[in-house]
Structure 1
Amino acid sequence: MSKPTSMTIAPMAASHAEEVLAIYQAGIDEGDATFETTAPTWETFDSSKLPEHRFVAVDQGDAVLGWVAATRVSDRCAYAGVVEHSVYVHPGARGRGVASALLKALIDSTEAAGIWTIQSGVFPENTASLALHQRAGFRPIGIRERIGRHHGVWRDVVLIERRSPEID
């Protein structure tokens, strides 16, 4: 992928499915993005993500450079304003502000919807993601030690969150 001269952030649609899942699989294959070992089907992915809080970054040719999506953390009323998110960028588009633009779109959409907390879990080895999130206003809230096995190895997860300064 060549360096994009510009990008557009757009709502994620079924027409983006193949590229979104390929970017997800690339992140999975690198080994420090998720406990998942294979990308789900589009139907599974689509049904698990909140439609109003998922976006793609596309270049001038409409190639997907990256995506961000959120899910509910609970159906309990007390957690109505809390979502968990994921953000993935095509390996050839990294370092160009794609993830920052996607996080901004997510933050804007969640704040407009009255969501007060965006959270995620990040492997501590994924220092680029931790730095990106810190720049976007996320803070570490703790480490879940040996929370799960990934390819037979126990992994820790840094819990991060962004509390909206706009929503009380």
Structure 2
Amino acid sequence: MSDAERHSRENFYQNLIWVVDGLPFKKNFEINHILPSPDDGFAKDLAWFPPGVHGGLFYRRSEHPEAQGDGNSLVLMHQMREIEDQVNASYRGHHQFIWKRPRITWFAAKCPVFLDFGDERLLQLILYDAERPTWCVRQISKRKFLHDVNTEASACSVGTRFYPLPKN
């Protein structure tokens, strides 16, 4: 889909959710390590490096207030294992990812974007850290997604509340 077509539909419908068929690019998409909830206080101090073989590297903004996230500052890198317990306690489905040859238009979408790779979950594209900028995906079960689509008034609220779902 072109940017112009996406933009036109978002302007017309406004309260819209994009569910994108991920099967055509599934082999170019890799989910990486978990991330703490971006709303958690300690997570706001962390700036994550792009994902790769290292399994999660970050620096603490409080240790390097001069770092602007432009890649030109020297910072002390930390490994995920140093904060693994905190990250696990804060986890709400967020992961770093690698998307080779991404469909760029979805990063510019104003409405929520969910990728469907044909399994029991959807992956929502989220701007995790606007300062750096760092994108992530947040996993949500299709069952939870369908529940929220039928109960939430705003498309932006789908998948944001965590409460028990009724049993089938």
Shorter chain as denominator, the TM-score bin is under 0.3
Structure with max Cα Rg = 2
Query: Given the two structures, how large is their TM-score scaled by the length of structure 2?
Result: 0.27
Higher RCO (Cα < 8 Å, 6 or more apart): 2
Query: Given the two structures, how large is their TM-score scaled by the length of structure 1?
Result: 0.27
